[in-house]
Structure 1
Amino acid sequence: MSLEQKVMDQLKEAMKAKDEAALRTLRAIKSAILNEKTSEGFSGTIDEAGELKLLQKLAKQRKDSLDIFVQQHREDLAAKEREELAIIERFLPAQMTAEELRTAVEAIVAQTGAAGPGDMGKVMGVASKQLSGKADGKAISEMVKQILAAK
């Protein structure tokens, strides 16, 4: 089942339940899908990797906004962002824990033969492909820096 179909099914359920947070978020996801499908130079269908990338982008936007609202002590706006983020994360695969990420990055470092911080680009290229959707790019980058700095 495509992401668009899942969103539509949950949108119907949210309408029946009169769940404002879910409605707001699901409509935002639906809108992003429509924008992506109709963007210039696009074929009209989104593959699973494209759907995942789209959801990660939406989740990152919510996280960034949440950080700003928390810093500015705007709990009312932060609460909305938390609600939306929780709903978006239902569609994303489970994220790796810090320990799982460390283990995966250490294996990639060994696989690529990286010897120090100068090899970060080589490691990040492989890590980004292998861990796409399982971990945030920023978290992957930080872990690679830590591991390579220790070498």
Structure 2
Amino acid sequence: MDLFERVSEDIKTAMKAKDKVALSTLRNIKKVFLEAKTAPGANDTLTDDAALKIMQKLMKQGKDAAEIYIQQGRQDLADEELEQVKVIEVYLPKQMSAEELEAALKEIIAETGATGGKDMGKVMGVASKKLAGLAEGRAISAKVKELLG
């Protein structure tokens, strides 16, 4: 069962359970998936890789929105966003711990032969491909800067 079908099935489950947060989040995900499937050039298909990228983007948007709400003193809205993020996280691969990320980046740095800050672009190119879905871009970038700096 691909991710699109899994989300569709989970919508039914959320309806039966009367879980409003999960239901609205999953419906939004499905809407974005359908938009991606019907986009020009998509040939009415959505690969799991593309679906994962969409979900990661939605998760990042939710976290960013929650951060803004917290800055504006709207904890109630931030909590709603974070609940939706929890629903999305269920579908994403487990994120790497800080130690796992550092070990993977040290390996990539050795592999690319990077020696300093000027090689950051080279390392980031390889790291973003290898670690896609396993760590946030921000975390990867910060750790690469730390290791090369």
Give the deviation of 1:36 after TM superposition.
0.5
Equivalent position amino acid for 2:89 in 1: E
- Aligned match of 2:16: 16
Instruction: Give structure 1 regions of 4+ aligned residues with deviation exceeding 4 angstroms.
Output: none
Q: Which whole-Å deviations, capped at 9, do the CAs of 1:107-131 have from their partners, x for residues lacking one?
A: 1001100010000011011101110
Distance 1:55 1:102 in 2: 24
TM-score, normalised with respect to structure 1:
0.96
Structure 2 unaligned spans of 5+: none
The root-mean-square deviation of aligned C-alpha atoms, in Å, is 0.7
Distance 1:17 1:26 in 2: 13
Give the deviation of 1:59 after TM superposition.
0.4
Q: Which whole-Å deviations, capped at 9, do the CAs of 1:49-69 have from their partners, x for residues lacking one?
A: 111101101101101101001
Give the deviation of 1:41 after TM superposition.
2.1
Give the deviation of 1:73 after TM superposition.
1.1
- Aligned match of 2:148: 148
TM-score, normalised with respect to structure 2:
0.98
Distance 1:87 1:40 in 2: 29
Give the deviation of 1:75 after TM superposition.
1.2
Q: Which whole-Å deviations, capped at 9, do the CAs of 1:12-40 have from their partners, x for residues lacking one?
A: 11101111000110001000100101112
Equivalent position amino acid for 1:62 in 2: G
Structure 1 unaligned spans of 5+: none
Equivalent position amino acid for 1:71 in 2: Q
